[in-house]
Amino acid sequence: MKKPVVLYKKLSPPLMARLHEHTQVTLIDDLGDNGLAQLRAALPEARGLLGASLKLDAALLDLAPQLEAIASVSVGVDNYDIDYLTRRRILLSNTPDVLTETTADTGFALILASARRVVELANMVRNGQWTRNIGPLHFGTDVHGKKLGIIGMGRIGEALAQRGHFGFGMPVLYHSHSPKPDVEQRFNARYLGLHELLREADFVCLTLPLTPQTEGLIGAGELALMRPESVLINISRGKVVNEQALIQALQNRQIRGAGLDVFEREPLAPDSPLLSLSNVVATPHIGSATYETREAMARCAVDNLLAALAGERPPNLVNPQAYRH
């Protein structure tokens, strides 16, 4: 008998067909009030869940006594109480690797757009305000040869370092929980303490997961260490940065600018002060948002879910302690 699974994310027809072949699928198209009511109604029978961008807390999952596996279509797992899932032996899987290169592309796009003021000046042209040759008032800053500081040297950090080192001749500085000799050898990178990196880097790029230890990692004190010529890039999680402190640093021109793909609350409120600042490039969490990568992530999640429901260890298991050997 096919096991019931609940999808709260639309998948491509081939992936839907694959799930229908092996499971009994309930699809929830929209997670508005009606969709959440549908989810609660489906949870008591669910053996598997697949989706993204929904906080699944204990209060919700207590409604799913038969749940065996959750396949998150994401790398980040901050929407899940991993201790709770492990106690209940619910297997949680994610989709690393497949989005590494695409997210690093996004990070470098933000570096270039922020440095060269691409959005600001493109809007000037669009609004009919380009009436004479560009002068110093609208100059940007070079990227090639500048110091690239990466906080969080995981897969995405390494992919960003590769682009900076080989593509733009940027000296690579990095900070992570421990030095990585292979990274230092490949990219001629230097391991620095957090404060030292903030003082020295021209571009400070955040590529680390959101955890209790990293939440609010970059606050007023850290921003004060950055130089007026430096730029902050965040492609990790919004809550890694104290947003109000960042707004003040940008308003005061304490730093040159920021390229932000993630925010404390998403979607970003239309009245956010960030949107009124010309030295901010803000994108709507597009890190992995290409057709190819999103399909690869969904395919990875389906692989994870079907393996877990078959009693196998999912390829990308987040909480191995929950796996019944």
Indicate the SS3 state at residue 201: coil
Residues 318 and 70: their CA atoms lie apart, in Å, by 10
Residues 235 and 81: their CA atoms lie apart, in Å, by 22
From the candidates 47, 175, 237, 294, give the one annotated as an active-site residue: 237
What string of DSSP letters covers 76-104? --TTB-HHHHHHTT-EEE---STTHHHHH
From the candidates 175, 285, 294, 299, give the one annotated as an active-site residue: 285
**Could you confirm whether 266 is annotated as catalytic?**
yes
Find, among 219, 308, 259, 12, the residue nearest to 115 by Cα: 259
- Tell me the β-bridge partners of 25: 5
CB atoms within 10 A of CB 226: 23
Classify residue 317 by its DSSP letter: B
Residue 171 near residue 191 (C-beta atoms within 8 A):
no
**Could you confirm whether 195 is annotated as catalytic?**
no
From the candidates 215, 266, 292, 312, give the one annotated as an active-site residue: 266
**Could you confirm whether 237 is annotated as catalytic?**
yes
Residues assigned a catalytic role = 237, 266, 285
